[in-house]
Amino acid sequence: MKKLIVIIFVFSIQFINAQDQESIRAKKFFERTYYSEAIILYQKLADEKPSQEVIKNLADSYYYTNDLVKAQRYYRLLINSYSNGLDREYYFRYAQTLKATNSYEDANKMLKEYFSKSANPEDISNFEKDIKTLENVTAIGKRFEIKNLPINTPNSEFGAVKYKDNLVFAGVKLKPGWFDKKYKWDNNTYLNLVSIPIKNIFSSDSIVHYFAKELKTGMHESNAVFTKDGKTMYFTRNNSKNGKKKKDDKKISNLQIFKAELVDGKWTNITSLPFNSPNYSVEHPALSADEKVLYFASDMPGSLGSFDIYSVNINKGAFDTPKNLGPEINTSKREQFPFASADHKLYFSSDGHLGYGLLDVFVSDINGNEYSKPVNIGLPLNSNLDDFAFNIDSETKEGYFASNREGGKGSDDIYQFKEIKDLIVEDCKQFIAGIITDVDTKLPLENATVILQDSDKKTLYTFTTPLDGKFNFTIACEASYKVSAFKEKYTNESKMITADKTRNAINDGSLALKSLEKIKLEEKENVEKKRKQELILEEENKKKEILAGIELKEKEKKAKQAEIVAAEIKKNEKVKQILEQEKDVVKDKDRLIIKTDPIYFDYNLWYIRKESKVVLGRVVELMNKYPGMVIEIGSHTDSRGNEKFNENLSQKRANSTREFIIQSGIDPKRVSAKGYGESVPIVKCKTDESCTEEEHELNRRSEFVIKNL
């Protein structure tokens, strides 16, 4: 067991030592810029023993070899997991990889993070201004027509310039030979200057030749530029002497600019320019139109970034001290591939100025020793990847540039272009246009005052309308404005308008004013109209009241009828009940009467006789039994005697009967008395003698008619 533990321990030490050795080797490759070899080792270390340095160097290795998708992956891991003490430069590189995958919103967020970590507080505000400027460039639209040249291969081609009838550019062999050296930065063979007749550049089967075999070495040669007479050229090559590469203390062979002269058809007198140094790179020469100034890129001491643009005056073949073009042109990042056009413009590529991708082409106006703020030259020449080695003929507006954008044939391709639209950079603007009219006549109003104010109520424009009443203001996008209109003897009107991001949109600011005279007239008409309406309403209300009264009476009538019917039904039910229960109550045609024995009165008298009181007692008994019963006492006489006398006598007898019933305890309201005299006989007697005494007796009677129950 102990032996096994020892074996495991020894193996672990060997494994750790192996990892340390790989880490040392990887770092050595990385520091010597052998990135393709460093990737192999760092990738393994990232999987087995990740650390901030491992992830950082692996991301950088992919970044420098243009594998930006993988670089993005490891920069994201670096920032998310190993950000403690991380240099802000890595936020910038991560943003560049995001642009390369068209993730512009995320890229801008990361750039904002990058600038927020700057010691210069103005960096954030300058960045936001640059975003605005780039939006304005984008708004121009397609500025160039571009064509990928058929001469491109899967390898790298760039730096195309015209030389006599040929196109000279830098390229590498499509199929390197066994003895061809490879550049360990990206594992490709070294660049050489090659050429092809311009007439053949669109022929896919054209043969490209070495531009000049006497210039070819086992090192990089690229970016040639020629004097107008074609007898002098400047180009970029690795630091060398007598055809042998020379390196600095870090074993890096920096780039230098060489000059060559055409003598007897061959390029000779190849000399390194005096401001070259083995300790830094000097590259990408470009001549001014008068050939008195040489522009180049360098990372020499005093540079603001990794590479800056410099200029050096040429005096009869001699070179002055190079000058850095300063912070207007150069940034803390890369500025390379300068080109000076005949119309005094300096073009160069930069990833320090805000662009669409990695290296974008920018332009600055040259005014003596001063340079205007560079502007991105726009789409579609600039892309989400590298765009560089730009040159243009100021008269024909045609030229060449290189790019490694998607859709190309290889690493870097040469594109021919033609500028079709001027670079006019304007802030986003819109318009407020309209007509001031009379609200009633719809006609335009002349001499109306129109005022435009911003959101702070500051007056921007004041305008007096012409005969057609029209006005037009230019405004900025993404802002709010107030349009107001005034005219003597008219009302004032205004409206708020908010502009969005749509460029050159026209917002309707039309306003309609109302005549004060018309308002007075309308007020008078309204008063009259109101009075008429009130009269009409009053009349309608009267009609409604009448109709309501009629309707109410009708309802009351119907209610009473309903009550009568209900009462009648109730009465009939009670009548039926009484008729069933009381034998003394009988129906006499349409009358309900209490049937009693006859009540007798002495002749011509009305006093209740003793025997009649017993009969009346039965009536009182029924009325006590039915508290709701109301009766009428009807007293009748025979036909004998005076009619008037009989009427009075019958009334007295009826009253006497009523009085007896009331005295028996019945409410007076329940008893009425009526003397009918001889008017309602049972037996009609033509003469007093025509009826018997019995018939007269029948006519002399008292009836108790039930009026209500």
Q: Output the average pLDDT for the chain.
A: 89
pLDDT at 689: 81
User: Is residue 222 classed as helix, strand or coil in its secondary structure?
Assistant: strand
Q: Which of 143-147, 178-182, 586-590, 664-668 has the lowest mean pLDDT?
A: 178-182
**What is the pLDDT at residue 5?**
44
Q: What is the per-residue pLDDT across 454-478, written as a single tens digit (0 to 9) for each?
A: 999 999 999 999 999 999 999 999 9
Determine contact, residues 191/169, Cβ cutoff 8 Å: no
* Predicted local confidence at residue 248, as pLDDT: 61
Average pLDDT over residues 230-259: 81
pLDDT higher for 701 or 73?
A: 73
Closest to 634 (Cα-Cα) out of 556, 707, 690: 707
* Residue 452 CB contacts under 8 Å (≥ 6 apart), including other chains: 432, 459, 460, 461, 462, 463, 473, 475, 481, 482, 483
pLDDT for residue 142: 97
Mean pLDDT lowest among 156-160, 178-182, 294-298, 627-631: 178-182
Q: Is the pLDDT of residue 181 over 60?
A: no
> Which structure tokens are listed for 377?
């030259």
DSSP state of 280: B
Q: Which amino acid, 533?
A: Q
Give the whole-angstrom CA distance, residue 704 versus residue 595. 7
pLDDT score for 16: 46
Question: Any idea what the Cα angle at residue 602 is, between residues 601 and 604, rounded to 5°?
Answer: 100
Upper half-sphere CA count for residue 674 (Cβ side, 13 Å): 13
Residue 427 CA to residue 136 CA, distance in Å, equals: 6
pLDDT in tens, 305-339: 899 999 999 998 899 999 999 999 999 999 999 99
Answer for the pair 141, 411: CB distance below 8 angstroms, yes or no: no
187 beta partners: none
Which phi-psi region, left, alpha or beta, contains residue 147 (left: φ > 0; alpha: ψ -120 to 50)? Answer: beta
Distance, CA of 270 to CA of 260 (rounded, Å): 4
What number of residues does the chain have?
Answer: 709
- Helical packing angle, 89-100 and 68-81, nearest 10°: 140
For residue 637, which of 691, 689, 677 has the smallest C-alpha distance?
Answer: 677
Beta bridge partners of 336: 349
Side-by-side strand order, sheet with 630-636 = 585-588, 591-594, 701-708, 630-636, 671-677
Q: Is 280 within 8 Å of 254 (Cβ atoms)? A: yes
pLDDT band at 374 (very low <50, low <70, confident <90, very high): very high
Q: Is the pLDDT of residue 11 over 60?
A: no
Identify the weakest region by mean pLDDT among 86-90, 175-179, 301-305: 175-179
Per-residue pLDDT, averaged over 264-281, amounts to 95
As a dihedral over the C-alpha atoms of residue 570, residue 573, residue 574, residue 577, rounded to 10 degrees, the angle is -170
DSSP label of 379: B
**Strands 318-319, 323-324: pairing kind:** unpaired
Dump the DSSP string for 2-60.
HHHHHHHHHHHHHHHHHHHHHHHHHHHHHHTT-HHHHHHHHHHHHHHS--HHHHHHHHH
Q: Is the pLDDT of residue 53 over 60?
A: yes
β-strand pairing of 671-677 with 630-636: parallel
Q: 581 falls in which pLDDT band (50, 70, 90)?
A: confident
Phi, psi angle pair for 442, to nearest 5°: 65, 10
State which of 146-160, 592-606, 653-667 shows the largest mean pLDDT: 146-160
66 vs 365, more confident: 365
Residue 245, pLDDT above cutoff 70: no
Residue-wise over 647-685: b if at least 16 C-beta within 10 A, else e?
Answer: bebbbbbbbbbbebbeeeebeeebbebbbbbbeebeeeb
Q: Give tens-digit pLDDT for 20-33.
A: 788 999 999 999 88
Helix ranges restricted to H, 582-642: 610-625
- Exposure letters 247-269 (e unless 16+ CB within 10 A, then b): eeeeebbbbbbbbbebeeeebee
Calculate what percentage of the chain has a pLDDT beyond 90: 66
Beta strands at 266-272 and 493-498: parallel, antiparallel or unpaired? unpaired
Q: Which residue has the tokens 């009940």?
A: 577
User: Per residue in 636-673, pLDDT tens?
Assistant: 888 888 888 888 988 988 898 899 889 999 999 999 99
- Report the distance separating Cα 695 and Cα 396, nearest Å: 153
What distance in Å separates the CA atoms of residue 192 and residue 215, rounded to the nearest whole number? Answer: 9
Sheet holding 413-419, edge to edge: 144-148, 413-419, 398-403, 387-393
pLDDT tens, position by position, 29-50: 999 889 999 999 999 999 999 9
- Residue 405, both tokens: 């954008």
Helix (H, G, I), strand (E, B), or coil: what is residue 696?
Answer: helix
